[in-house]
Amino acid sequence: MVDEIAFQTRRGLAQRALADVIRFGARDESTIRAGARELAAGGLPTELPPRFLVSASRYALGLGADPQSLSKRVIEHLSQRPTLSRAAPRNRGSACSPSNEERP
């Protein structure tokens, strides 16, 4: 199943595999494990990218974290993060054409 999801090429990814588009290495793994230790100790690794929180949470459970407390902290943290639609208003003009303010 991992091969099918991560290593098979996809039309939607310009015939590239997900593993080619989203890099993941030993440094990422150590970041996740450090985040897991912080989660297990009752903290919240705010510098940890959201895509790594699920893996860090799984490791934290293995380290003895309380499931209810852990899920509450992670869900609250993720629900407070700005999303693309809420982060900043989009510029309606294209990069190739000037905006209304720039037109004479």
For 65, the domain range is 2-82
Specify the pLDDT at position 92: 45
Q: Which amino acid is at 56?
A: A
Is position 70 within any domain?
yes
Is position 56 within any domain?
yes
From first to last of the 104 residues of the chain, give the pLDDT tens digit: 667 778 888 888 888 888 888 888 899 999 999 999 999 999 999 899 999 999 999 999 999 999 999 999 999 999 986 665 544 555 544 444 444 444 44
* HSE-up of residue 100 (Cα within 13 Å, Cβ side): 2
The total number of structural domains in the chain stands at 1
Burial call 7-27: b when 16+ CB within 10 Å, e when fewer: eeeeeeeeeeeeeeeeeeeee
Specify the pLDDT at position 53: 95
How much is the pTM? 0.65
**Strands 16-17 vs 9-10: parallel, antiparallel or unpaired:** antiparallel
Specify the pLDDT at position 56: 97
